[in-house]
Structure 1
Amino acid sequence: MEVPEWIEFLLKSLNSQDQGLLCNCLLSIWTSRNHLIFENIEESSMEAVDRTRRKHEEFLFALRITDAEIQSPPPDSNSSERWNCPPTNTIKINVDASTSENGLVGIGIVARDNFGAILMASTWKGDLSLNSQEAEALACLMGLEKAQQCCFFDVIVENDNIEVIQSLRLNKRQNNYFESFIVDCFNLVTSLRSVKFSHVKRSGNRVAHELAKIALTNPNEVWMEDAPSNICNLAFLDIISPIHE
């Protein structure tokens, strides 16, 4: 049995908490290996165990709070309730926005490949007076901008606001900030090879949702092939959740 098949076999036999423990063990081993090869730093086994313990505690915390923070979708919505991997050679960019009472807007963006691996994650904050729909349209625009900057040519932009996604799909416009963001999105689409707009329920957009919340206190950050530990844990949950279905 090859290693990937062995890992998949183990994941299918474990519950969510133990799946997270396995993934964090493997990640810690890989981190120790990289430290030795690239930095000539030899870690003790206890250092690797302690890192695994800390990461797993963060994972369990993310597992506990996720369901409590997810809002129930409209009963007539038939969009996917979970995050699904994009097709091979296509990058899925999930975006979300959060707003504060004092007019601040936080934007969270995460790009992942067909294995669910994080290729890019970013946060942005602006002092703008936008309603929630306008903020979500701005998030889609900034997701397309990141795709262009990162040279992602075939992308799916995914968001949990159905009105915004329908406007992007049907070219629906209004006479406000919302229209200007939609028009700018269409202008950016021409610079990419292929773009699709996808709606997912809040439960399938939790990584971008958490980044949008982080953006209000930790803005203007960009992580390439990396992300904060709580974001990585949520991304793990997206990948392993379908295994038991």
Structure 2
Amino acid sequence: MGLLLEAPTTSFVDRLVWLAEKLNKDALSSFASLAWAAWFCRNKEVFGDVENINPSYVATGFMKLKMEYGEYNKVGSMVHPPQIPMRSTWSLPPTTFVKINVDAHVRHDVGVSFGMVIRDEGGNVVAAGVRRIASNWRPALAEAGAAQFGVEVARRMGFEKVMLESDSINVVQAIRQRQRGAAPIFLLFDDIIDMSSYFSSFQCSHVKRAGNTIAHNVARWDVMVGSENICTHSFPQSIQTLAGLDFL
């Protein structure tokens, strides 16, 4: 209790980050579980659904879920997933494929921008675009949002064989392994996986940031909140220059 009194009160995020530096992993996960239980009960109170709600039982249930997840995670950690190849430079997609490179730009107190660029088997840029939303997403969620945006545009444009590429290893791993979960980020992964079934062939790969420079640049294009800008011709000189550098 004393530690909580010392924690920042500016926001829950600030408090959680502060506690993460003070608590061990098990204690922090217990705090998060109890905070989740408190928020669950708060919502029940706000929306008038408090009948048969016992906060002590709710807290106990959430702590039980946390312990069960810990035991499951110990078993799961014994199985090592296949390693995902990591490239440092951009490379051409397979013949007859297009490659979608994606990146996100988190603009604090402004919103999040998703950038994507589509290139054909010859390395030619065939589309580039950005979408900006007002939400203040964390970086991991933003990277997943950029991947979802890129796949959505490729589907709208009617491409059949698609390779999605990101510099976020966690996003690539989640898509390749078709991971499922209850957190908000999994809604984006579910959408990507569902859309991938519309292509005749779909692949997902990882590249280091140095090989993702065009998408990184496009994610910083200026566009109004709640809108997107998709170019399919007359690309800015900066995009053409960066595309040419990939072959040097």
Q: Do they fold alike, i.e. is TM over 0.5?
A: yes
Give 2:230's aligned residue.
222
Q: 1:146 aligns with which of 153, 162, 172?
A: 153
1:49-198 paired onto structure 2 within 5 Å: 79-198=86-205
Greater radius of gyration (CA): 2
Runs of 4+ in 1 over 3 A off after TM superposition: 215-219
Greater share of residues in helix: 1
Task: Using CA pairs under 8 Å that are at least 6 residues apart, name the structure with larger relative contact order, 1 or 2.
Answer: 1
- Provide the alpha-carbon RMSD of the alignment: 2.0
Q: 1:236 and 2:244 equivalent? A: yes
Q: Distance in 1 between matches of 2:224 and 2:90?
A: 26
Give unmatched runs, 5+ long, in structure 1.
1-75
Letter in 2 for 1:104: G
Q: 8 Å contact 1:95–1:110 — kept in the other structure?
A: yes
Aligned length: 165
TM-score of the superposed pair, with normalisation by structure 1: 0.63
Among all aligned residue pairs of Structure 1 and Structure 2, give the percentage whose two residues are the same amino acid: 31
TM-score of the superposed pair, with normalisation by structure 2: 0.63
Query: How far off is 1:228 after superposition?
Result: 1.3
Q: 8 Å contact 2:223–2:229 — kept in the other structure?
A: no
Q: 8 Å contact 2:96–2:121 — kept in the other structure?
A: yes
Q: 8 Å contact 1:108–1:215 — kept in the other structure?
A: no
Letter in 2 for 1:236: G
Deviations 1:176-196 (A, max 9, x none): 221100011111011111110
